[in-house]
Amino acid sequence: MLEDAPAISVRDVSKRYGSVAALCSVSFDVQQGRIAGFLGPNGAGKTTMLRILSGALSHDAGSVAVFGEPVSEGHLELRRTIGYMPESAALYGEMRVTEYLRFRAELKGVERSQRKAFIDEAMADCGITDVASRVIAQLSKGYRQRVSLADALVAKPKLLLLDEPTAGLDPNQIRDVRNLLLRLKKAYTVFLSTHILSEVETVADDVVIVHKGRVVAQGKKDLLTRRESGKTFVLALRAEAGPVSKLFRTTVGLADFDVETDGPFVRVQATWDDHVQMGPATERLVAACVASGFGVRDLRMIDARLEDVFAELTRESEEQP
């Protein structure tokens, strides 16, 4: 295991199920110590990617490494490094919670002398100490989910792969799981899949957005929001399109813009380059418009949230059937 390698490194990974292309040349990294959200609508390929990362499923092409170690199907040495919480946990319902966790800890190679301490800690972390001797099948969905999370934690892995960990939970349980993730962050790298944007907004540092088996965006969570937010504006001017376009073209720092005529007005939507100091630049632009005799009617900043970016990126293309 390499100290400074990314926790997850995925390069050009593809996977088909017969004629269904579940993943198409997917590449991304997750750095150590981060919580990364793997965000995408249902059917995007999230579960497929997590199963590949956990060693439960083989991939057709590309490479997958965890802490610099290549992952392949059935890779046993990584069992203790990776804690995987599958989408629908196959818990042994007839077992009691501690019994089940003991069985799992043993399977994952936790030494006998450490087992009790590890199990107690995982149960405490997940808030299930009070149901330790209960039969799993008799627990509520929320508690079963926590048992599944305790299972992922029990061998003290370095990387947690969580597949939609809050699916099917009520709002209070969702809040509990989110708080738990924020606490776990101190000790683990977390890669969590979700189709719920607010989940990423509340717990993640980074985000990888997938749609139809392809990565459509990735980066720091706030970078992704900021890419659009505040940097894009709409300026309505009483003027003609030609001269306005000319002025905008010669204005330093404007990445791209659209000009649209609306009766006696033109509406310009433009985005400042990332390095531009928006306030002063906008002031200069407005002053230049006024100096050119364009009446300024309205100026609005467009504050796109991650939600808008997500909707935009995952929107069905109109050309497709």
Ligand X SMILES: Nc1ncnc2c1ncn2[C@@H]1O[C@H](COP(=O)(O)OP(=O)(O)O)[C@@H](O)[C@H]1O
CA distances from 145 to 19, 163, 173, 174 (A): 33, 11, 10, 11
Is position 46 an interface residue for ligand X (rule: CB under 6 A)?
Answer: yes
Residue 20 interacts with ligand X (CB under 6 A): yes or no: yes
Please give the single-letter amino acid code of residue 146: R
Options 42, 250, 277, 317; binder of ligand X; rule CB under 6 A: 42
Q: Which is nearer to Mg ion, 87 or 121 (CB)?
A: 87
Tell me whether residue 177 or residue 289 sits nearer to ligand X (CB atom).
Answer: 177
47 binds ligand X per the rule CB under 6 A: yes
What burial class does residue 25 get, using C-beta atoms within 10 Å of its C-beta: 0-12 exposed, 13-18 middle, 19+ buried? Answer: middle
Task: Give the one entry of Mg ion, ligand X, none that residue 165 binds, where binding means its C-beta sits below a cut-off of 5 to 8 angstroms depending on kind.
Answer: none
Q: Which is nearer to ligand X, 48 or 54 (CB)?
A: 48
Minimum CB–partner distance for residue 40 and ligand X (Å): 5
- ∠ CA(8), CA(13), CA(18), 5° rounding? 135
Q: 58 to 97, contacts with Mg ion by CB under 5 A?
A: 87
Q: How far is the CB of 65 from Mg ion (least distance, A)?
A: 22
Nearer to ligand X among residue 43 and residue 230 (C-beta): 43
Q: Which two tokens stand for residue 304?
A: 């796109």
**Please, what is the minimum distance in Å from the beta carbon of residue 261 to ligand X?**
43
User: Nearest-CA neighbor of 202 among 229, 171, 158, 230?
Assistant: 171
Residue with tokens 């199963």: 51
The footprint of Mg ion on this chain (CB under 5 A) covers a number of residues equal to 3
DSSP E strands: which ranges in the chain?
Answer: 8-17, 20-30, 35-39, 61-66, 69-70, 82-85, 159-163, 189-194, 206-211, 214-220, 232-238, 254-262, 265-272, 295-302
From the list 16-24, 29-37, 120-128, 146-154, the region that binds ligand X by CB under 6 A is 16-24
Question: Per CB under 6 A, does 13 bind ligand X?
Answer: no
How far, in Å, CA of 54 to CA of 86, rounded? 9
The DSSP symbol for 30 reads E
Contact between 165 and ligand X per CB under 6 A = no
43 binds, among ligand X, Mg ion, none (CB under 5 to 8 A by kind): ligand X
- Label residue 105 left, alpha or beta by phi (over 0 means left) and psi (-120 to 50 means alpha): alpha
Residues binding ligand X: what is the number (CB under 6 A)?
A: 11
Closer CB to Mg ion, residue 54 or residue 98? 54
For the segment 23-62, give every residue that binds Mg ion (CB under 5 A): 46-47
**Under the criterion CB under 6 A, does residue 17 sit at the interface with ligand X?**
yes
Residue of 3, 14, 79, 35 lying closest to 201 (CA atoms): 35
* CA neighbor of 184 nearest in space, from 279, 85, 283, 281: 85
Q: Closest separation between CB of residue 272 and ligand X, Å?
A: 34
Q: Whole-number minimum distance, CB 195 to ligand X, in Å?
A: 7
22 part of the interface to ligand X, by CB under 6 A: yes
Query: Any contact of residue 40 with ligand X (CB under 6 A)?
Result: yes
Residues of the shown chain interacting with Mg ion in the complex, contacts defined by CB under 5 A? 46-47, 87
Residues of the shown chain interacting with ligand X in the complex, contacts defined by CB under 6 A? 17, 20, 22, 40, 42-48
